[in-house]
A and B are shown apart, each in its own frame.
Chain A
Amino acid sequence: NAGVTQTPKFQVLKTGQSMTLQCAQDMNHEYMSWYRQDPGMGLRLIHYSVGAGITDQGEVPNGYNVSRSTTEDFPLRLLSAAPSQTSVYFCASSYLGQGSYNSPLHFGNGTRLTVT
């Protein structure tokens, strides 16, 4: 049972480059989300989706795009990378949603991104 799979594990980009972080889950969860984790800041929500074809912005969406064409996949696109986007990115999914009781978030193991 793979759970939530993120690729790549590590990535180094130059300022201005674009890239896509991949996320796939095999638990048939409707809710998927992207967080970034920075020292002293905790996990902050970037974008989320409550089902295929539906996405919405979280707390820190600027500079990122998402789409949800299937239940399983939820890629995160960096349009023009900036050093401020250096972070660890986590994809998470759940059955009901991030605020729902007894519907915990399942996290992937993260993508460590450095922008120089």
Chain B
Amino acid sequence: QKEVEQDPGPLSVPEGAIVSLNCTYSNSAFQYFMWYRQYSRKGPELLMYTYSSGNKEDGRFTAQVDKSSKYISLFIRDSQPSDSATYLCAMSVNDMRFGAGTRLTVKP
């Protein structure tokens, strides 16, 4: 079993939809939780990071961590075609572990 599980999708939604991306993990020692966005043929770039449980909001993006369930989520409100990318969850205590990524397409 992988330490970090992420549904690879692909996920296709219409413009303006609310998107929910999720990861589960098995290592309860993870403390820092991150979401990276990766456009086609590009390297990942940090989108959001959180520490421990709770919510963090940044514009249209909300990151949610539930350590009791070992479950993290990224919500995208009012999704735009420019949000079309692969979204990678990542988490760490000393070493970082990445999910396999979910490919999202937002259709105009």
Binding site for B on A (CB under 8 A): 4, 39-45, 90, 92, 98-102, 104-105, 107-110
Q: Size range of the interface on B?
A: 20 to 34
User: Quick one: closest B residue to A92, CB to CB?
Assistant: B43
- Alpha-carbon separation in the docked complex, A99 to B93 (Å): 6
Beyond A45-B96, A99-B92, 6 additional contacts (C-beta under 8 Å) are: A42-B6, A43-B44, A45-B95, A101-B49, A105-B46, A109-B43
For A39, the chain B residues whose CB sits under 8 A away are: 100
B19 located at the interface, meaning its Cβ lies under 8 Å from any Cβ of chain A in the complex: no
B88 located at the interface, meaning its Cβ lies under 8 Å from any Cβ of chain A in the complex: yes
Of the candidates A40, A98, A107, the one whose C-beta lies within 8 Å of that of B92 is A98
Interface centre among B41, B43, B88 (most CB of A within 10 A): B43
Question: Which B residues from 31 to 88 make CB contacts under 8 A with A?
Answer: 31-32, 34, 41-46, 49, 51, 88
**Is A90 a contact of B43 with CB atoms below 8 Å?**
yes
Known: A4-B43, A43-B44, A90-B43. A101 touches B51 (CB 8 A): yes
User: Quick one: closest A residue to B5, CB to CB?
Assistant: A42
For B44, the chain A residues whose CB sits under 8 A away are: 43, 90, 105, 107
For B42, the chain A residues whose CB sits under 8 A away are: 109-110
Of the candidates A43, A99, A104, A109, the one whose C-beta lies within 8 Å of that of B98 is A43
For A43, the chain B residues whose CB sits under 8 A away are: 44, 88, 90, 98
**Is A98 a contact of B96 with CB atoms below 8 Å?**
yes
For A109, the chain B residues whose CB sits under 8 A away are: 41-43
**Is B32 a contact of A99 with CB atoms below 8 Å?**
yes
- Alpha-carbon separation in the docked complex, A7 to B22 (Å): 33
- Alpha-carbon separation in the docked complex, A99 to B31 (Å): 9
For B41, the chain A residues whose CB sits under 8 A away are: 109-110
- Alpha-carbon separation in the docked complex, A41 to B100 (Å): 5
